[in-house]
Structure 1
Amino acid sequence: MSTEEPTPTGGSSQQGEAPAAKEPPILVAEEIVAGYLPEINVLNGCNLELTPNEIVGIIGPNGAGKSTLVKAMFGLVPIRSGSVRARGDDITNASAHTLVAKGIGYVPQRDNVFATLTVEENLRMGTFLKPKEFERRFEWVAGLFPRLAERRKQRAGSMSGGERQMLAMGRVLMAEPEILFLDEPSAGLSPALQDQVFEQVKKINETGVSIVMVEQNARRCLQICDHGYVLDQGRNAHSGTGQELLHDQKVIETYLGTLAKVA
């Protein structure tokens, strides 16, 4: 996706006319303080905004709180202070079940498919709230990931790592989310399969799904994201467009040198 600022419409408007207003964020997290154990905070005041049709990348060193931020926004880690709003509604500490019903999906890094179930059975789990929508959504997901249609009756546990990641994303997309959280989708994959995953993320985004993606492959993440956040010790260390961060000397020296896996 392009990371350039969109050109305002109405270039021939009369003098004094206000420029087109920027579309408001679809998701806002403010001053998030959260952690797994009582009185031990992993996040210490994180902020994030996601606008419609945008890919937001979250990068940073190990232990910075990247995955914790996504889990907190999806109701899997208790938020002690701060707030999360989606389309203006307060969803702070809402249950995952409630968030799925509101059009928010989450693909975890590990244990993200049911290994003993077939591809089709995994995908049916994605429409548990609207089972009658299965065939329509299956056709849509298969259009994105034709391999899933080819392997419809295969057990997920016998699939390759890249295919399982594809299935994990497909299962969540079956619920027709408006917002998608991805927790290190390229983790553990070969460089070639990582490239496939990033291409799949772009394809999903091009269908109108807004994405927040945590990635250890920092450079590759910044190459495709519209906006990026660098976390360090549970706080926002840097933010900007993907291209700005990719070429920020301080970010390069401090983070990209150790985090980037792709030149």
Structure 2
Amino acid sequence: MKEKMFAAFAANIKTMESLRRNEVKYVPGVLRIEKVIVLSAADYEKLAEDISPEYPFLKNNRTLMTAQPGGTFHCLLVTAETEQEGMLFALTENTLYTGRAQNVPGMELQGIPVERIALEEPKAYQEHAVFFHRARGLDDITGRDVHRPVPERQTSFRVELAVVLSDAQFRQFKECGLMEDKLFLFENSSRMWFDPGELCWHCLLIKGESSRDGILVEAEGYAYARYAAHVPDCGRLRLKDVPVRYEPLARRPEHRKSKGRDEAR
């Protein structure tokens, strides 16, 4: 029977140097390593200098990790072939706990799966947008028209629903249809509001079935895009668990045979 391993973790630190210098507040826990991730020496140093929960390898292994401060931490151990040191990671919904393993070769790791990877850069998410009041179309919200409406200041936003149009419908909507009444805006008015306390727009994302860009809309109770912002790349938005509504002419992805639980009716 394996002996229990213990470790100390710090929440949401930015570099390993702060752990090495003991400049952080720790929480103790029982350590259970679920997988070993092996990086190149260069990638290990890069990660050590810029720790972030947005790295793809952390997201891809999220189901292996749990954290109970004072209890058990189910972790990834990240190291390099030439390193004595290792990084311990336990990612929860809002917190990345990081610990330091000072002597990886001396740890009992028999039977634990090992994966060798190249470190992928974390995705740079778009967190803020500039909304325009009563914009007519894309020229008004991308700066092409010098007579465009005055924008609101750049603030944060949260997508509450993604609405997928056919590519033709989306092209018409963004080019000249922002002031037109739309049933999908009227029917989802409760999903759109501005939170003055957090300075956050709760909005819909309107996009085409194959478009890269999209339009954020806060209709303020109306059936047209009373406030709108342009998003150049929808792939940079945080859309995990955001429900999706497909308009009648929009084609659903072929792999979706039926409506999933995350698809809005």
Q: TM-score, normalised by structure 1?
A: 0.26
Higher relative contact order (CA 8 A, sep 6+): 1
More strand as a share of residues: 2
Larger gyration radius, structure 1 or structure 2: 2
More helix as a share of residues: 1
